[in-house]
């Protein structure tokens, strides 16, 4: 279980990125954070990863407080961030230096099989497509068998077809052992496809505005009427006017 309790994050320059966030995520649950830019979504993800610490409040996994980077979470970023001089196998094994060569090979082979890239273990990143490179990044996050996967807009840099394929592939990977997933995305359709719950963040400082439990059975058909209704409801929950200059928002109010 992931616990985010009364968390506020204020930086040294005085900027408050996140204010009084309270979220509880059960084991095996997929939760998405959505909202326009600057609402504290990525800041919250960094706090869960232990890359930052809360100014006030507490982040805990299985009731253990998180104050520094830890092995309970695997992180997948928007870009694969692969080391170009290492093979796919070596990229996946990076960070497993404490294990024997035999154990590293076993783990990387098993994980690459899960993401469908076993035959590319010896390839270099430049030989991969964008979607394949991101699957390597997913494998690198999975290889330590983390309790939680943190995904920061993992498919936003990909074309639409590849993005849909990887969303479906991610659900197949999740079904294998059902790790907890916390996903940051600007893509409402992606959030509805993947999530058990969607948390809408608004405001400046960013705060939790609404939570929605998605009651659609899996696999979810993007063309279904209920799917479209969820998209509309979530889009209505986003205050897109927040991203306009102040004078534009005032003009909208006057109208």
Q: What is the pLDDT of residues 58-80, one digit of tens each?
A: 999 999 999 998 889 999 998 89
Q: How confident is the model at residue 224 (pLDDT cuts 50, 70, 90)?
A: very high
Count how many residues are written for the chain.
Answer: 255
Tokens read off for 67: 């104050």
DSSP state of 115: T
User: Residue 221 and residue 239: Cα distance in Å, rounded?
Assistant: 26
Read off the pLDDT of residues 126-180 as tens digits, 9 standing for 90 and up: 999 999 999 999 999 999 999 999 999 999 989 999 999 999 999 998 998 899 9
The structure tokens listed for 246 are: 């102040």
Q: What percent of the chain has pLDDT over 90?
A: 84
Q: Would the pLDDT of 242 be above 70? A: no
Judge residue 200's burial from the number of C-beta atoms within 10 Å of its C-beta, 0-12 exposed, 13-18 middle, 19 or more buried.
buried
The pLDDT, as a whole number, for residue 1 is 87
Query: So what's the pLDDT on residue 36?
Result: 87
Where do you find CATH 3.40.50.300 in the chain? 1-72+147-226
Task: Give every CB contact of residue 78 below 8 A, 6+ residues apart in sequence.
Answer: 152, 153, 154, 156, 157
In the CATH scheme, what is the homologous superfamily, with its name and number, of domain 1-72+147-226?
Answer: P-loop containing nucleotide triphosphate hydrolases (3.40.50.300)
Residues 6+ apart with CB under 8 A from 236: none
Please tell me the predicted confidence (pLDDT) of residue 82.
Answer: 95
pLDDT averaged over the chain?
Answer: 91
Positions of E strands within the chain: 2-10, 16-25, 30-34, 56-61, 64-65, 73-76, 148-152, 180-184, 197-202, 207-213
Q: Which two tokens stand for residue 92?
A: 């996946």
pTM above 0.85, yes or no: yes
What is residue 252's predicted lDDT score, i.e. its pLDDT?
33
- pLDDT, greater one: 1 or 9: 9
């Amino acid at each position: 279980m992931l616990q985010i309790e009364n968390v506020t994050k204020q930086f040294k320059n005085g900027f408050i990125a996140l204010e009084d966030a309270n979220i509880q995520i059960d084991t095996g649950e997929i939760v998405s954070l959505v909202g326009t830019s600057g609402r504290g979504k990525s800041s919250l993800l960094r706090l869960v990863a232990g890359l930052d610490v809360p100014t006030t409040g507490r982040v805990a996994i299985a009731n253990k407080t998180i104050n520094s980077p830890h092995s309970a979470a695997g992180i997948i970023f928007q870009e694969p961030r692969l080391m170009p001089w290492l093979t796919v196998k070596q990229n996946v094994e990076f960070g497993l230096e404490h294990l024997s060569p035999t154990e590293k090979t076993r783990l990387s082979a098993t994980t690459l099989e899960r993401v469908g890239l076993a035959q590319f273990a010896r390839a270099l990143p430049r030989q991969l497509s964008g979607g394949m490179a991101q699957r390597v990044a997913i494998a690198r996050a999975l290889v330590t068998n983390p309790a939680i996967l943190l995904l920061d807009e993992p498919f936003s840099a990909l074309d639409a077809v590849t993005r849909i394929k990887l969303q479906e592939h991610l659900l197949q990977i999740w079904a294998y052992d059902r790790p907890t997933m916390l996903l940051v995305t600007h893509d409402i359709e992606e959030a509805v496809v993947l999530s058990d719950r969607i948390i809408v963040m608004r405001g400046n400082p960013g705060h939790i505005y609404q939570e929605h439990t998605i009651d659609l059975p899996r696999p979810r058909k993007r063309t279904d009427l209920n799917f479209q209704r969820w998209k509309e409801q979530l889009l209505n929950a986003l205050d897109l006017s927040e991203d306009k200059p102040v004078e534009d928002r005032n003009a909208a109010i006057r109208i």
